[in-house]
Amino acid sequence: MHYGNPPLFLAIQGITQRLDPARTYTVGRDPQSDVVFQEAIVSRRHARIYWGGTSWVLQDLNSTNGTYDLGRRISLAEVGHGASFTLGDATEGPRLQEMLRSFELNSVRRSRPATTPPDDQLQPIYATLSAAWQAAFRQVCRSQHRPSR
């Protein structure tokens, strides 16, 4: 059974966007970018976000002012649950933040098979989540399969 790659929900300037793993997204000041920032500290072609096969990846495209994770300049980083990156300045730059949306879990639950698949088959859905989120996800899936009395 195949569940597909998980979408990424990214909070950008207060707006949550759903990113499709079948696409690569560009980030920068260029109006043709998928995610556009107006701040001068953001390069025209600043970064890209893509599904790397096992997780989402943020790659800095040799931007002038850099991309930061927890104050450290990075060139490549895995985008896990709750990840937060700043562009152009470690503390004052615009922020990209990963968000897990509850409605996504609900839609996964509604489309599940009649029996709970083994954990290794659920892996593509929650591969980037922390162990606590993975346990909660498994519990939700299993609770939906209890027979009615």
Q: Which two tokens stand for residue 27?
A: 């980030």
How many residues are recorded in the chain? Answer: 149
pLDDT, tens digit, 9 for 90 and up, residues 13-52: 777 888 899 999 999 999 999 989 999 999 999 999 999 9
pLDDT, tens digit, 9 for 90 and up, residues 79-94: 887 888 999 999 999 9
pLDDT given for residue 101 in this prediction: 42
Element (H, E) at 138: helix 131-143
Considering only CA atoms, which of 97, 94, 102, 93 is closest in space to residue 82?
Answer: 97
pLDDT, tens digit, 9 for 90 and up, residues 96-149: 888 754 333 333 333 344 444 455 544 444 444 555 555 665 665 555 555 555
The strand pair at 67-69 and 84-87 is best described as antiparallel
DSSP annotation of 130 reads -
pLDDT given for residue 110 in this prediction: 37
pLDDT given for residue 2 in this prediction: 41
pLDDT, tens digit, 9 for 90 and up, residues 57-79: 999 999 999 999 989 999 999 98
